[in-house]
Structure 1
Amino acid sequence: MHLSGRCSRLYVSLTHDHFCVVDDGPGLEPSEVLDQLETHHKKRTRQGDRAHAHVIGTGMGLAMINALARRLEFELRRAGEVRRWVFEGTVLVSENELVGACDDSGTTLRVWPDASLMREPLPSRAELSAVLEKVHWLCPALRVELDGRRFSGEAGLAAWIRRQPEWDGSPVETLELVDGARGARVGLAWAWLDEPCVARQAAFVNLRETPRGSHMDALLEGLAARYGVSPAMARRRVLALVSVVLEEPRYDSPTREVLAQPELGAWIEASL
Structure 2
Amino acid sequence: MSKSNKYDESSVTVLKGLAPVKERPGMYTRTDSPTHIIQEVIDNAADEALGGYAQNIDITLNQDGSVTVSDNGRGIPTGLHPSEHVPVVELVFTQLHAGGKFNKKSGNGAYAFSGGLHGVGVSVTNALSKRLEVTVKREGQIHHIAFAGGEVIQPLSVIGKCAVKDSGTEIRVWPDEHYFDSPNYNLTELERVLRAKAVLLPGVSVTLNKYQAADGQLQSQKWYYPNGLKSYLLDLLNDANTATPIFASENYLTEQNDSDFNVGEGAAFALTWLEEGHVPSESYVNLIPTPLGGTHEAGLKQAVFQAVSNFINHHNLLPRGVKLQSDDVFSRIAFVLSARLLDPQFQGQTKDKLTNRDALKLVAGMSIDPLELWLNQNIDIGKKIAELAIRQAQIRMRSTKKIEKKKGSGVAVLPGKLTDCESEDIRENELFLVEGDSAGGSAKLARDKNTQAILPLRGKVLNSFEVHRDQLFGNAEIHDISVAIGVDPHEKTDNPDLSGLRYGKIAILSDADVDGAHIQVLLLTLFYKHFPKLIETGHIYVAQPPLYRVDVNAQGKSKPARKFYAQDDQELENILQRLNLEKVKESAYSISRFKGLGEMNPDQLKDTTMSPDTRRLLQVQIPDNDSDETKNIFIKLMGKGEAASRRAWMEEEGDKVEADI
Give the 3 Å change call, closer, same or farther, for CA 263–115 of structure 1 in structure 2. Answer: closer
SS in 2 for 1:259: coil
Measure the CA separation in 2 of the matches of 1:254 and 1:152. 28
**Counterpart amino acid of 1:175?**
S
**Counterpart amino acid of 2:228?**
G
The CA deviation string for residues 32-63 of structure 1, in whole angstroms up to 9 with x for no partner, is 211101146xxxxxxxxxxxxxxxx9996221
Are 2:204 and 2:224, in contact at CA under 8 Å, matched by a contact in 1? no
Are 1:196 and 1:236, in contact at CA under 8 Å, matched by a contact in 2? no
Are 1:136 and 1:155, in contact at CA under 8 Å, matched by a contact in 2? no
**Counterpart amino acid of 1:191?**
T
Q: State which of 117, 128, 133 in structure 1 corresponds to 2:195.
A: 133
Are 1:223 and 1:234, in contact at CA under 8 Å, matched by a contact in 2? yes
Measure the CA separation in 1 of the matches of 2:327 and 2:185. 37
Displacement of 1:29: 1.6
Larger Rg: 2
Residue matched to 2:143: 83
1:209 pairs with 2:289: yes
Residue matched to 2:89: 33
Give the 3 Å change call, closer, same or farther, for CA 167–98 of structure 1 in structure 2. Answer: farther
Are 1:167 and 1:239, in contact at CA under 8 Å, matched by a contact in 2? no
Residue matched to 2:122: 62
Residues 207-246 of structure 1: matches in 2 within 5 Å? 207-210=287-290, 211-228=292-309, 230-246=325-341
**Counterpart amino acid of 2:253?**
D
Q: Which moved more, 1:63-72 or 1:117-126?
A: 117-126
Displacement of 1:259: 2.2
Are 1:39 and 1:90, in contact at CA under 8 Å, matched by a contact in 2? no
Measure the CA separation in 2 of the matches of 1:154 and 1:33. 32
SS in 2 for 1:17: coil
Measure the CA separation in 2 of the matches of 1:262 and 1:136. 28
Are 1:19 and 1:112, in contact at CA under 8 Å, matched by a contact in 2? yes
Superposition RMSD on alpha carbons, in Å? 2.8
Specify every segment of 5 or more residues in structure 2 that has no aligned partner in the other structure, as ranges: 1-47, 80-87, 97-114, 210-219, 255-261, 310-323, 369-661
Q: State which of 227, 231, 234 in structure 2 corresponds to 1:162.
A: 234
Displacement of 1:189: 0.9
The number of aligned residues is 255
Give the 3 Å change call, closer, same or farther, for CA 122–248 of structure 1 in structure 2. Answer: farther
Measure the CA separation in 2 of the matches of 1:234 and 1:213. 18
Q: Which moved more, 1:19-28 or 1:173-182?
A: 173-182
Are 1:167 and 1:191, in contact at CA under 8 Å, matched by a contact in 2? no
Residue matched to 2:355: 260
Residue matched to 1:92: 152
Structure showing the higher helix proportion among its residues: 2
Give the 3 Å change call, closer, same or farther, for CA 246–153 of structure 1 in structure 2. Answer: closer
Give the 3 Å change call, closer, same or farther, for CA 2–154 of structure 1 in structure 2. Answer: closer
SS in 2 for 1:258: coil
1:17 pairs with 2:65: yes
Specify every segment of 5 or more residues in structure 1 that has no aligned partner in the other structure, as ranges: 41-56
Are 2:146 and 2:152, in contact at CA under 8 Å, matched by a contact in 1? yes
SS in 1 for 2:331: helix
1:106 pairs with 2:168: yes
Structure showing the higher strand proportion among its residues: 1
Measure the CA separation in 2 of the matches of 1:254 and 1:76. 27
Give the 3 Å change call, closer, same or farther, for CA 250–183 of structure 1 in structure 2. Answer: farther
Measure the CA separation in 1 of the matches of 2:247 and 2:273. 9
**Counterpart amino acid of 1:100?**
G
**Counterpart amino acid of 1:115?**
E
Residue matched to 1:116: 178
SS in 2 for 1:219: helix
Measure the CA separation in 2 of the matches of 1:79 and 1:183. 29
**Counterpart amino acid of 2:342?**
E
Residue matched to 1:191: 272
Displacement of 1:155: 5.3
**Counterpart amino acid of 1:133?**
R
Q: Which moved more, 1:261-270 or 1:149-158?
A: 149-158
Are 1:113 and 1:122, in contact at CA under 8 Å, matched by a contact in 2? no
The CA deviation string for residues 226-248 of structure 1, in whole angstroms up to 9 with x for no partner, is 12263112223322111123232
Measure the CA separation in 1 of the matches of 2:357 and 2:225. 36
TM-score by length of 2: 0.36
Are 1:199 and 1:235, in contact at CA under 8 Å, matched by a contact in 2? no
Give the 3 Å change call, closer, same or farther, for CA 253–93 of structure 1 in structure 2. Answer: closer
Identity %: 24
Displacement of 1:112: 1.0
Give the 3 Å change call, closer, same or farther, for CA 251–22 of structure 1 in structure 2. Answer: closer
**Counterpart amino acid of 2:65?**
D
